[in-house]
Amino acid sequence: MRIVSVLVASLLFGLGLEVAQMTNPQKVIGFLNITEKWDPSLIFVMVGAILVNTLLFHLTKKKASTIFGDVLQVPNKTHIDKNLLVGTALFGIGWGMGGFCPGPAISGLFRLDPGILIVVVSMLAGMFSYGLFQKLVSK
C-alpha cells in the first residue's frame, strides 16, 4: 500500500506540473523575466500548492504519524547557514540559465527530447559532484 500511495502521489505531482505547464521552460523563464515580458503564472502554482500543502501538513503533524503508522521524517534544521545561502543562490543561477529545476526536468523525460535528457544528465552530474565537493571540504 505504501508503494501504491508513493506512485499515486508522484503521478499527481507530475500531472500538476504539466497542467500548470511548469514542465515548459518558457513558462519558467517567462516568470523569471521580470524586467521585460513577465509571466506571473508560477506564483499562482506556488500559492495553490502552498495553500493545500499547508493545510495537509499541519493536519498530518497533529497526528504525529502517518496513516500507516510510520514516523514523519520532516527536516529539522532551523539555523540559517552559509550552505543554505550559497547553495540556493547557485541553484537560482542554474535554474534561470537552463530554465529547469529538478521536478520539471525529471517530469519532462517522457517527451524523449534530447535537450531534456541533457538537462537531467547535467543535473545528476552536478548533484553527484556536490557529494564529492562535500567530502573534500569536510576533510
Partner 1 sequence: MEIVNFTPMPALGGGVLIGLAAGLLLLTVGRVFGITGIISGIFNPIKGDILWRVIVLIGLTGGAFIGSKVMGTDAALQLRSTPFLIIGGFIMGFGARYGSGCTSGHGVCGISRFSMRSILGTMTFMATGFITVAIMTHLGLN
Per-residue cell: 51: 495553500
Phi, psi for residue 9 in degrees, rounded to 5: -60, -45
Which one, 79 or 139, has the nearer CB to partner 1? 79
Pick out residues in 19-78 that bind partner 1 (CB under 8 A).
19-27, 29-30, 32-57, 59-60, 65-68, 70-75, 77-78
Please state the closest distance from residue 61 (CB atom) to partner 1, in A.
8
Any contact of residue 139 with partner 1 (CB under 8 A)?
A: no
Residue from 62, 79, 135, 139 touching partner 1 (CB under 8 A): that is 79
Per-residue cell: 60: 498530518
Please state the closest distance from residue 2 (CB atom) to partner 1, in A.
5
Distance between CA atoms of residues 113 and 96, nearest Å: 20
Any contact of residue 129 with partner 1 (CB under 8 A)?
A: yes
Residue 1, SS3? coil
Residue 131: how many CB atoms within 10 A of its CB?
9
